[in-house]
Structure 1
Amino acid sequence: MQLIACPWCGEREEIEFHYGGQAHIAYPDDPYALDDEQWAQYVFFRDNPKGPFAERWVHSAGCRRWFNALRDTVTHEFLSVHDNRAERPSRTGTAPAAQHAEGQEAGR
C-alpha cells in the first residue's frame, strides 16, 4: 500500500484519500460567454502527461482537507504535497513527499 503525506496529518495509507483531478484549472472568467465546445473543453478535457503532474487530493478519511500534489504518473511517486492555497510548485521538483511534509511540520 502506498503512503501519501497529508500536509496537515502526515503520512497515511492511500485508502484514506480520494483523487480530485488536475490541479490549477482556472474557472472561466465569464462562463456564460462560452459556447458548447468551449464549455466541453473546460469540463471534460484534461492533460494526461507521462511524468510529473499537478493533482488535487482530499484526505477524506482524515482531516477532510483538500491539498495539491505533484505526482509522477509513471512511478506513482508523490514528488511534493502542499496546501492548495500555496503557489503552484515547479513541475521539476524531486523531493519525496515525506520530506516535504516534514519540512512543513517544522515550519509551523
Structure 2
Amino acid sequence: MFDLIVIIRVPDDAEVTLVADALARMRPLCLAEDGCVSWEAYQSHEEPGRFVLVERWASRGHWEAHDAGDAIQKIYIPEIMPRIEREVHPSSLIRSRPE
C-alpha cells in the first residue's frame, strides 16, 4: 500500500467554496482509477480554508499514474492548484504493536 496525506490551505476566503466543490468532483474520478483503494477530502470546521486529503493507493506506481488521470489533469491542476498552498506527505499508518 501507498498512503498519502495532502494538506491544503486556501489563502483567499472567496475561493474556499470553489476548491471544496472541485475536490468533491475529483473524488469519484479518483476512486474509479486503477489502484485507488480510498480517497477522502476533509474540510476543517475550525479553518474552512484548510483541507486534508487522505489517499490510499495499491502502490506508489498507481499513485504516480494518477497524475495523468482526469481528476488531476482536468480539475486539480487547472482549478485547484492556482488557488492553494499545499504540503504532500507520503505516509505510513501507525498501528499498535503486539506486546
TM-score band w.r.t. shorter chain: under 0.3
Which protein is richer in helix relative to its size? 2
Q: Which of the two has higher C-alpha Rg?
A: 1
Q: What is the TM-score when the length of structure 1 is the normalising length?
A: 0.25
